[in-house]
Structure 1
Amino acid sequence: MIPRWQVRITIVGLSLVLAAGLSAAAKPDQQAVHTATMAPQAATASKYVYLTFDDGPHPQYTAQVLAILRKYGVRATFFELGRNAARYPYLTRRADLYGHSVQNHTWSHPDLRKVSWATFKSQVQSTDRTLRAQTGYTPRCLRPPYGATNSVVSRRAAALGKKVKLWSVDPRDWSRPGTSVIVRRVLASVRSGSVVLMHDGGGNRSQTVAALPTILRTLKARGYTFYPIWCT
């Protein structure tokens, strides 16, 4: 007969092993979760659009944009500057918490065509580390500042595990042409699969914030679904 104390030790040991296994299973890789649950969605809608916001996070405008997107049940993609995410990490966490995609827009907004390989790596990898600390995943998209790209930028991005992601609709909201102009430019240009460029940082973005509700309401009324970008 096996003594009771040995049986008890065996049972406790097995319990600890099982608990450890369950704990590991309960904490899957964040990137894998996002890839599995978000990336395929675009194929499920006949009309869809990707809203993207550059140069944040900003304590005023990003917070307002997030509130509006949440009100309308829309998910978007935020191409963040590492230095801004380091300064306002709670906004990066909030964007991720609300189901948005947070991606890499470099650390300090240089023209990537004009920097050395060492600077390129530093700009991208330092931003990766900052964003990963808040979201749990490493961005796979890279949006070069100014949309400035060439074969060297694309090759370097790929070497760092990134896909260059630009846009197809640019209302030039950064120039502050007026709320109604921003709305008109977006609505006149959007087609299914469009990637819309707007800004939540880098200056006064009050016109963008004011234009956003009308853009969302109108596109929803036209039957569009909104998806974030993950660059899987």
Structure 2
Amino acid sequence: MTGYGPARAMPRRTLVRREPFLRIKGRGRSVVLTFDDGPDPRYTPEVLRTLKAHDVRAMFFVCGEMVVENRDMLRKMADEGHVIGNHTWSHPLLTELTRSAIRSQMERTSDVIEQTCGARPGWFRAPYGAWNRAVFEIGAELGMEPLAWSVDTLDWTAPSSQSIERRVLKGAAEGMVVLAHDAGGDRSPSVRALRRYLPRLLDSGYHITVPRWQTR
């Protein structure tokens, strides 16, 4: 249900994948940190500061309407080597939208990312983790691969920073993809938790990395 295709173009047929498209760089226990809903001028800079202090890269799934107000922050993400993904324009429940509305949400966001950073995103994530066939197909038509997660910090439920930290460390395993947020509410507990669990993961031998494309 996913494949490659030029942006704004409908492929003539569905491309079927016969090999993994995701490769995680590094040996040993590699994990990916992801942050949704930003960029937010209150919390995203603190997340970036913490990642930079430990010389690690993460993925940021951004919303187009947030990018419009925070273009400099998005450029900073890209300049520091983080991967920018598409999280729709206004964070709707895509499974309740028409195909044309889904396309608009995703394409407008890819457009503003390209206008700001000079490149279209290669990854997308559906808000609320709500996927259906149309979402997968349109993402593929726009040249993007879907990425979900394996550990949800549940920071969107407003838990304590200690609770977020415990969830990450309890779920730690090779290939873990962590879902956290840098916008969409009070994310100060998420920032405080990151400051604690990130060095603990590194001290435990985990390699924090970002995915790269598998060449065909």
- Give the TM bin, normalised by the shorter chain: 0.7 to 0.9
| CA-to-aligned-CA distance 1:22-56 (integer Å, 9 cap, x gap) | xxxxxxxxxxxxxxxxx997243211100000000
Given that residues 25 and 210 in structure 2 are in contact (C-alpha distance below 8 angstroms), is that contact kept between their aligned partners in structure 1?
no
| CA-to-aligned-CA distance 1:62-83 (integer Å, 9 cap, x gap) | 0110011101111000000001
Match of 2:142 among 156, 160, 163: 160
Cα distance in 2 for residues equivalent to 1:226 and 1:44: 9
Which contiguous aligned blocks of 4+ residues in structure 1 show a shift greater than 6 angstroms?
none
Question: Which amino acid in 2 is paired with 1:86?
Answer: V
Instruction: Kindly indicate which of the two structures has a greater share of residues assigned to helix.
Output: 1
Cα distance in 2 for residues equivalent to 1:90 and 1:43: 28
Match of 1:90 among 52, 72, 75: 72
2:49 — aligned with what? 67
SS of 1:59's equivalent in the other structure is: coil
Question: Which amino acid in 2 is paired with 1:82?
Answer: G
Given that residues 25 and 211 in structure 2 are in contact (C-alpha distance below 8 angstroms), is that contact kept between their aligned partners in structure 1?
no
Kindly state the Cα deviation for residue 116 of structure 1 after the two structures are TM-superposed: 1.2
Kindly state the Cα deviation for residue 125 of structure 1 after the two structures are TM-superposed: 1.0
Given that residues 106 and 124 in structure 1 are in contact (C-alpha distance below 8 angstroms), is that contact kept between their aligned partners in structure 2?
yes
Change (3 A) 1:124 1:230: farther
Change (3 A) 1:231 1:207: farther
| CA-to-aligned-CA distance 1:68-118 (integer Å, 9 cap, x gap) | 110111100000000101111011001111110011000000111111111
| CA-to-aligned-CA distance 1:161-206 (integer Å, 9 cap, x gap) | 2211110100101112101100001100021111100000001000
Residue ranges of structure 2 left out of the alignment (5+ in a row) = 1-20
Question: RMSD of the TM alignment (CA)?
Answer: 1.6
SS of 2:151's equivalent in the other structure is: coil
Cα distance in 2 for residues equivalent to 1:81 and 1:214: 27
Match of 1:208 among 179, 187, 190: 190
Identity rate, percent: 39
SS of 1:108's equivalent in the other structure is: coil
Residue ranges of structure 1 left out of the alignment (5+ in a row) = 1-38
Kindly state the Cα deviation for residue 152 of structure 1 after the two structures are TM-superposed: 2.5
Kindly state the Cα deviation for residue 121 of structure 1 after the two structures are TM-superposed: 1.3
SS of 1:218's equivalent in the other structure is: helix
Tell me the TM-score normalised to structure 1 length.
0.80
Question: Which protein has greater RCO, CA pairs closer than 8 Å, 6+ apart?
Answer: 2
Kindly state the Cα deviation for residue 132 of structure 1 after the two structures are TM-superposed: 1.1
Given that residues 140 and 230 in structure 1 are in contact (C-alpha distance below 8 angstroms), is that contact kept between their aligned partners in structure 2?
no
Given that residues 50 and 195 in structure 2 are in contact (C-alpha distance below 8 angstroms), is that contact kept between their aligned partners in structure 1?
yes
2:113 is the counterpart of 1:131: yes
Q: How many aligned residue pairs are there?
A: 194
SS of 1:208's equivalent in the other structure is: helix
Question: Which amino acid in 1 is paired with 2:76?
Answer: R
Kindly state the Cα deviation for residue 134 of structure 1 after the two structures are TM-superposed: 2.1
1:198 — aligned with what? 180
Alignment of 1:112-123 (within 5 A): 112-123=94-105
Cα distance in 1 for residues equivalent to 2:56 and 2:25: 17
Question: Which amino acid in 1 is paired with 2:173?
Answer: R
Given that residues 99 and 134 in structure 2 are in contact (C-alpha distance below 8 angstroms), is that contact kept between their aligned partners in structure 1?
no
Tell me the TM-score normalised to structure 2 length.
0.86
2:168 is the counterpart of 1:186: yes
